[in-house]
Amino acid sequence: MASPTSPRLATTLCGIRLNNPVLAASGTFAYGVEFESLLNLNHVGGIVVKGLSREPMNGNLPPRIWEAEAGMINAIGLQNIGVRAFVAEKLPGLRKVKTPVFANVFGYSIEDYEEVVRVLEAQEGIAGYELNVSCPNTEHGGQFFSSDPGLLSEVVGRVRRVATRPMIVKLSPNVAKIEPLALAAESAGADAISLVNTFVSLAIDARSRRPRIGNNFGGLSGAAIKPIALRLVYEAAKAVKIPVVGLGGISTGEDAAEFLIAGASAVEVGTASFWDPRSVIRIAKELDAFCESEGVERASGLTATLRLH
């Protein structure tokens, strides 16, 4: 019987042992502890908590979510309780879970990133960090960390000097070429990269002639972005030597297998958790069943096996 803890699925990411390569993506699984009544958190490959900032943030004005034809547009605005409240209120519960926990970190200046990681460094119960670099740097005129290799290298390098735990850098797809950004993150000290984040998008109400999202623009996720995400994962994995974590429209075990084949060492499940809170475990089981049906001894053996024509 397929199992999320099958030996076929066991793997490592940045030296961290995982039951399986299917992680819960940031922003879609709250802080993890909120899901403990719905599923066994110890069966999840890893938990990437909701993005943490230096101070609490209320997020954007509603409406903040719009269901698109094959996905979802959101403009939550990185609402969160702040890193210190996370340490006091959420981390104690996460310490009881065996599943590795990754803290997603973001900021609007390099000092923001440094301070959040500095606070977390003093705490037990965190396996590693995921830096969300899809934010505008307010000290550089709003230039996005994720779109400039130099700026990206600077923030990763500065956080690297603070962080003793493994560090994943989450890249944006809203760039002309992904390879320079992937290489910049690697050179600056990233232990892995994850991609993709959401695609900047616009939904319009034709009758009111206004955006359907209160913040005007939002991030598109879900099935619609999977083919593009697969291409970007493939390109990034070919460019760097560090592991790649793939995400973008994964809702089945076969989807997860496709990302591994494209070059990912692990995957993250995001939007699917909104309509199926147990999806991260279901997908791991389906991946195990896929490997069994295809005669694959270890899921990790799928990584980077794409054969182009």
Write out the catalytic residue numbers: 135
Asked if 201 contacts 219 with a C-beta cutoff of 8 angstroms, the reply is yes
Asked if 38 contacts 65 with a C-beta cutoff of 8 angstroms, the reply is no
Q: Residues near 212 by Cβ (< 8 Å), separated by ≥ 6? A: 63, 66, 73, 203, 204, 205
Q: Which of 56, 64, 2, 53 lies closest to 26, judged by CA?
A: 53
**Cα 232 from Cα 182, distance rounded (Å):** 10
